[in-house]
Structure 1
């Protein structure tokens, strides 16, 4: 394999982009990845990938298993993540999500926008035997996510938001793949203040979400309640929407507060 840009002058931005590509490839696998696999996934040469992986490992962002020689995410990311969690207000918000999980009996997520996906930054798992949970760090396409619909609807220009998504890939028979239908859905989300994912990503799973609107304007993310369709029924939606509105309001204050200095 040859780097598409190997014959072009390197820039600092290109180096960062390549390093991030390697990190994302490692993030995407639970069992770690070897250099050849990483090179194929990132679209880089083996020599470039090896150099980047060693640099990232020296910084603690990756770690290499001496037995398998596969790379995993490193301990420095744990430290950075905990600092970010505290300074961005996520740590303080977690108890409020736990309260919401206890009140509803369902799994709870706080997600933020990451390109054309929603990245889950906090999760609280339901204690019900039959449940649906989405772990922190996971990513979901915007158009098949209740949180994603909230974040799309918060944009100034809905048409531009939809165009930027590219192809609306179908996940289930209920996935919205028609742009006009998605536009109508997002306008409804704007009007009523919450979004519904009605088995659009996973059969048998429903989610209701509301945006976290910052006091000074803007949206910091969205919070979702998710569970099986047998429990998240139409008659429960008004109650769940009300609980979401109260929780998102309290979380917004925390996310807008100055970061902790201790």
Structure 2
């Protein structure tokens, strides 16, 4: 018989569930939206959100009463970013974003998904089309294909998409929407051909046309090469999304 979690542990689990509701495009959520997403009674969601606001992990807009991620989470994340090399890599990522005028993302492999762990937005020409989904299928995304193509377990696999990535050095995906989006990704490969992650960009396909792709991909490759030695744990191994969350 499995022991039920103690009330204190259950409250922590629920608070984590509330925080996880904010994954994605930095949304602002009402209390009822939070309760629905977290699967909690409104009274419980209110009690947890107020505790998280007092702790600085959430903040409440005085104009709309909506909740959003607080500065306290950024302060807690900074040591993990530094330890995993993302803080050192950030200047290169922001320089690339400014140079190509498109948001640059870093994704890592997590089970069957590519999970975005860092984004660098350009100072101009930003639009919401440039923000990838926080979690994408490895087999149905440019970032996922870039990760799989150079994964030791997949190098010998017969797959036309992965063969194309290995041949051209980048992955491309057309996301079919009312305004189609094109996504590009290059692998971040360190010493010993170890894959540390994928560097990706996306924008409206009308803008990210074949001419711009030819200009953007070389800049992405250069940036990936520069940050590859930085994206390591203290023991030199490539990191995963699971490790990023645990830090």
TM-score by length of 2: 0.69
Please give the alpha-carbon distance, in whole angstroms, between the structure 2 residues aligned to 1:31 and 1:107. Answer: 21
Please give the alpha-carbon distance, in whole angstroms, between the structure 2 residues aligned to 1:57 and 1:130. Answer: 29
Structure 1 residues 101-250: aligned runs within 5 Å: 101-113=97-109, 116-119=113-116, 121-125=118-122, 127-128=124-125, 132-134=129-131, 139-142=134-137, 143-157=139-153, 183-200=159-176, 203-215=179-191, 218-234=194-210, 237=213, 240-250=216-226
Deviations 1:168-208 (A, max 9, x none): xxxxxxxxxxxx9xx53234324543211124467443232
Q: Name structure 1 gaps, 5 residues minimum.
A: 1-6, 159-179
CA contact (8 A) 1:27 1:73 kept: no
Structure 1 residues 20-31: aligned runs within 5 Å: 20-27=16-23, 30-31=27-28
CA contact (8 A) 1:111 1:122 kept: no
Q: Name structure 2 gaps, 5 residues minimum.
A: 236-247
2:245 match: none
Distance 1:63 1:95, change over 3 A: closer
RMSD in angstroms over aligned alpha carbons? Answer: 3.9
Please give the alpha-carbon distance, in whole angstroms, between the structure 2 residues aligned to 1:206 and 1:218. Answer: 27
CA contact (8 A) 1:62 1:75 kept: yes
Distance 1:72 1:191, change over 3 A: same
Aligned residues: 227
Distance 1:37 1:216, change over 3 A: same
- Offset at residue 248 of structure 1 (A): 0.7
- Offset at residue 23 of structure 1 (A): 0.7
TM-score by length of 1: 0.66
1:44 match: 40
Please give the alpha-carbon distance, in whole angstroms, between the structure 2 residues aligned to 1:77 and 1:194. Answer: 33
